[in-house]
Structures are given as structure tokens and as C-alpha cells.
Amino acid sequence: MSTATPALRLENIVKTFPGVRALDGVSFSVLPGEVHALMGENGAGKSTLMKVLGGIYQPDGGEIIVSEQKVVMRSPLEAKHKGIVFIHQELSLAKELSVAENIYLGELPHNRFGLVDWQHLFEKTDAILQRLKVGFDARTRVGDLSIANQQMVEIARALTHEAKAVIFDEPTASLTDAEKVVLFEVIEDLKSHGVGIIYISHRMEEIFKMTDRITVLRDGQYRGTLDTAQTTEEDITQLMIGRKLDLTRNAVDHEFGAAALEVENLSCGTLYTDISFSVREGEVVGFYGLVGAGRTEIAETLFGLRTPTAGKILLNGREVHIESPVDAIELGISLVPENRKEQGLVLGMNCRDNMTLPQVDALVSGPFVKDSAEIEIFGHYRDKLEIKTPSWKQLAGNLSGGNQQKIVIGKWLSMHPKVLIVDEPTRGIDVGSKSEIHKLIRDLASQGYAIIVISSEMPEILHVSDRIVAMYSGRIMRTFTAQEVTEDSLIQAISGLGESEKVA
């Protein structure tokens, strides 16, 4: 493989932003028919390197070489014409336009009167969609598609020109297991056609399953390239964060208090049925299940975003009616949502204001006092969550994907809720910060917070929970204590095997 001519090479790429040297002389290459992973902590420079390759950013130095020829990528369209296709971390489609218009944006076919040749456009598009075996057509409005299908539209774009390389920037972050299978098939297909694939992900099991080689960046610098088959998770982590991970969990070192939250026979239409559980002060209850099992919907109900159709919610033994997030916040319930970018962050606002947004009124009044109190809160969580940003003044939209997520987590922690619900807390977060967030959850529990963690990652659930609620298709199948749970019994419970828990 090493003797083949790379599909493309990046040499000594330098890119700086005000206060940040995002790329410091990085070199990288991908071979035809290879899946090459790009790994590194949040803010290491992965997306930036790919945006340079994709013509979105102009580098301050270095060269891009495609098929042994030096090229300049002045725009995304030019990069596409040179065979580089970019499937973004944040999807970048025009939601109001049709699938066909999105795929051929900037190069719509015209007839001899200079008008868009719609028929030709739709035919061309449908031919590509058929190859991808998707269940929608060229005329569908992109805004009506699921995230997974929107991603398929981006992939379809890849197939309009002879692609030399396709970049996937965290493609699986919001996909269900079934959708992932389709994505992996598409990647295998591209690979067998000799396309070079660049694959960015924080998920180790995907890296080992899908990739041939792994290049690691750290703080904008190249750290090395590994052969996946000859590498362990520890090797990669060591290269990424420069130290070994501390994975020990502080055993239950504190007593639980009274029940902070009790849920009795709660139902919400067809979303979930007859849900009963409790969370004590100081306890972490993990909700495990497949995507779509109803976990997020329960969280949304507790946060006042959905109205239950039956059942009761009690806080500290008293029944409550939570009709809106404002009610929830007043009662001391916080939710760190699953889809943080859409639900949790104002991209055009600076980091500090994003973090202190929900408590502006609560902070001491007077402009100066408030300002410094806010900066202090921001500084505290920046250190605790290791948020990488040159200053609190940086716009949230300029942070790396993972660091944006940390801002949202900090925002809800800083409100000191009694009941904290975190939905997929480490999605998109690098391994080092992930273990910090797990520690933080355990720490908060030992301070008396009642915590619900929703996660689709078994190691995460096993690591942080005192009790685990296993859900399948809107129902609780079984509740385990940390002592009794095994991986097998958990898998069995969430696949709908065995009977659901009988609730008196």
C-alpha cells in the first residue's frame, strides 16, 4: 500500500486564527481505496485541516497536492471539481431547497434559454439516489429529511463528480444503528471504487472497524500515523492526549439521601408507557437503550418540553406539574440536551454569555459586578471542562465542535440544579475530556445532586451509574444495581428479550 501514489497530500499546512495557531505545519496524505482516520482532542485542528483541503479556509502556508499536482482550493466548488468532497460535522445544506438543488448547488444545468433544466436536474439526481438506495427522491425538500438522510444528500453530492477523496467529519454523531450500517456500506462501496476516505471520529470502535490507518493531531501539530491493525486504543490515546487515561472510578463513597425525583406510571402517547423510577440525592441513574427507546422523550417531559398523558412526577415527595422549561428550571431541574448545537447554543454570542445565559437575572445586579461574576463562572467551568478557547470573548460558533458542547454542559452545571439530566453527555467529546466529564458527574453526585444520565454507550453507562434502567420500545424492561449488572443481561434487556418489569 505504501508504494501507491496518494490520492492527495497536504504538506506543512499552517493556519492561524486570532489568538489560535490551529494548524502548525501539518502533513497528511490519503491513498486511493484507503480509509484514513484523523484523530485528536477537541480543538486539535481536525476540522480546520479538512476545511483547508475543502477550500473553505485558505491556509497561511503549505501545499495541497492532488494526483501529484500542486493545487489551490479557492472555494468549496473548486475543491469539488478537483475531486474533494466534504461531508460536514455541522450539516451545511439549504433546508428550503430540494434535494436536487442542494446536490447541484452552484452548477444547476441550464437549457438553451438560460433557464434551469429541471427535468434533466431531477433525472440526474434520481440516478444517483438510486445508487445509494435511499427512500426519498430528487424533489424532496431537504428540511423534511432526517439527519441521516440529509447526510445521504451530502454523500450523493460526492458522487456527482469523479471523487478522489471524501471527507467524513464525525458522520455517525446523530445516526441510529441501522443508519450507521448504511453509511458503512456506502464507505465500503466508495473504497472499492478507489476513492480515498478521510474519517474523523472520536468513537474507537468505529475507528477499529472502519479504518486502515490513523493520523493523530495534537494542538495543531502532527503527532504520527499508525497502522490500525497494529495499534491499540491505549497507543492512540497516548498519542492524542500525551498521557495514560485514568479510568478508575471512585467506588460509591457517599451515602444516598432521600428520593429527589420520583416518577410514577408516567406515559406519553405512544412514545413511552408506564414508566416508574426514582433518583435519590447523590445517586446517578443511567438510562440505557437503543436510539428510539424513549429515553430522550422522558427527559424532555421532565424538563417541561412534553406533556405526559398519564402518571405523576414528584420532587422531594411533592407532586409537581412541569409545563415549561421555565417551570423545570425554577423547580431545580436542568437538562443538557442531546442535540446541543440546535437546542443549547447561540453561535453568534460569545462563550461567556452562552454559559451564563439562563441565569442572567439571578446574578448580582449592577453592570460591573455582573460582568466579573460571569467571567468567574466561565473561568471555573472552562478549567473544569478543559474548554479550549483563547478568551471568553470568542464567539461560540468559532469553537471546535466538541468545545461547543462543553460550553452547553457548563451552562447547565453552573445553575446548580437539584436534578440534573444529561442526554448523551460525551457525544463528540474526545477520550481525555470524556473521562473528565465522567469524573465530574460522579463528583456532582457526591455533592448531593440527583443525576440522570442517558447514553447509548455501554462502557459509559456502566462507568457512571449507581443504578441502570434498561429501556426497550418505550418501556422499562429492567432496573439493575451497579453491583448486579452484567453486559450480557443489559444487552438482553434492551433488545426486548425477556419480559418487561411489572409495576404494581
Residues that bind ligand ATP (CB under 6 A): 17, 20, 22, 40, 42-48, 89, 388-389, 398-403, 430
Cα–Cα distance, 19 to 383 (Å, whole number): 18
Cβ closest to ligand ATP, residue 53 vs residue 490:
53
Residues 6+ apart with CB under 8 A from 107: 77
Cβ closest to ligand ATP, residue 43 vs residue 286:
43
b/e map 202-224, b = 16+ CB within 10 Å = bbeebbbebbbbbbbbbbbebbe
Helical H runs in 414-474?
Answer: 431-446, 458-464
Cβ closest to ligand ATP, residue 203 vs residue 370:
203
Give the one entry of Mg ion, ligand ATP, none that residue 54 binds, where binding means its C-beta sits below a cut-off of 5 to 8 angstroms depending on kind. none
Question: Cβ 72 to ligand ATP, closest distance in Å?
Answer: 20
Cβ closest to ligand ATP, residue 22 vs residue 420:
22
Cβ closest to Mg ion, residue 275 vs residue 437:
437
Helical H runs in 252-303?
Answer: 295-302
Cβ closest to ligand ATP, residue 389 vs residue 500:
389
DSSP for residue 501: P
Question: Cβ 220 to ligand ATP, closest distance in Å?
Answer: 7
The residues that touch Mg ion, with contacts defined as CB under 5 A, are 47, 89, 400-401
Cβ closest to ligand ATP, residue 138 vs residue 345:
345
Cβ closest to ligand ATP, residue 17 vs residue 256:
17
Give the one entry of ligand ATP, Mg ion, none that residue 42 binds, where binding means its C-beta sits below a cut-off of 5 to 8 angstroms depending on kind. ligand ATP
SS3 of 75, please?
Answer: coil
Question: Cβ 2 to ligand ATP, closest distance in Å?
Answer: 26
Between the two ends of the chain, the Cα-to-Cα distance in Å is 63
Please list the residues that pair with 198 across neighbouring strands: 36, 167
Q: Which residue is nearest to ligand ATP (CB)?
A: 402
Give the one entry of ligand ATP, Mg ion, none that residue 44 binds, where binding means its C-beta sits below a cut-off of 5 to 8 angstroms depending on kind. ligand ATP
C-alpha cell at 303: 424538563
User: Between β-strands 475-481 and 467-472, what pairing exists: parallel, antiparallel or unpaired?
Assistant: antiparallel
Question: Cβ 388 to ligand ATP, closest distance in Å?
Answer: 5
Question: Cβ 42 to ligand ATP, closest distance in Å?
Answer: 3
Give the one entry of ligand ATP, Mg ion, none that residue 338 binds, where binding means its C-beta sits below a cut-off of 5 to 8 angstroms depending on kind. none
Question: Cβ 429 to ligand ATP, closest distance in Å?
Answer: 8
Question: Cβ 344 to Mg ion, closest distance in Å?
Answer: 17
Question: Cβ 401 to Mg ion, closest distance in Å?
Answer: 4
For 314-323, the CB contacts below 8 A with 24+ separation are 314/259, 314/261, 314/262, 314/263, 314/264, 315/260, 315/261, 315/418, 315/419, 316/258, 316/259, 316/260, 317/258, 317/259, 317/262
Helix 233-241 with 431-446: angle, nearest 10 deg: 90
User: Over 391-412, what HEC string results?
Assistant: CCCCEHHHCCHHHHHHHHHHHH
Cα–Cα distance, 100 to 177 (Å, whole number): 27
Give the one entry of ligand ATP, Mg ion, none that residue 20 binds, where binding means its C-beta sits below a cut-off of 5 to 8 angstroms depending on kind. ligand ATP
Q: From residue 391, how far is each of 148, 323, 395, 437 by CA, in Å?
A: 34, 37, 9, 21
Give the one entry of Mg ion, ligand ATP, none that residue 40 binds, where binding means its C-beta sits below a cut-off of 5 to 8 angstroms depending on kind. ligand ATP
Question: Cβ 77 to Mg ion, closest distance in Å?
Answer: 22
Cβ closest to ligand ATP, residue 406 vs residue 442:
406
DSSP for residue 343: H
For residue 101, which of 120, 87, 82 has the smallest C-alpha distance? 120
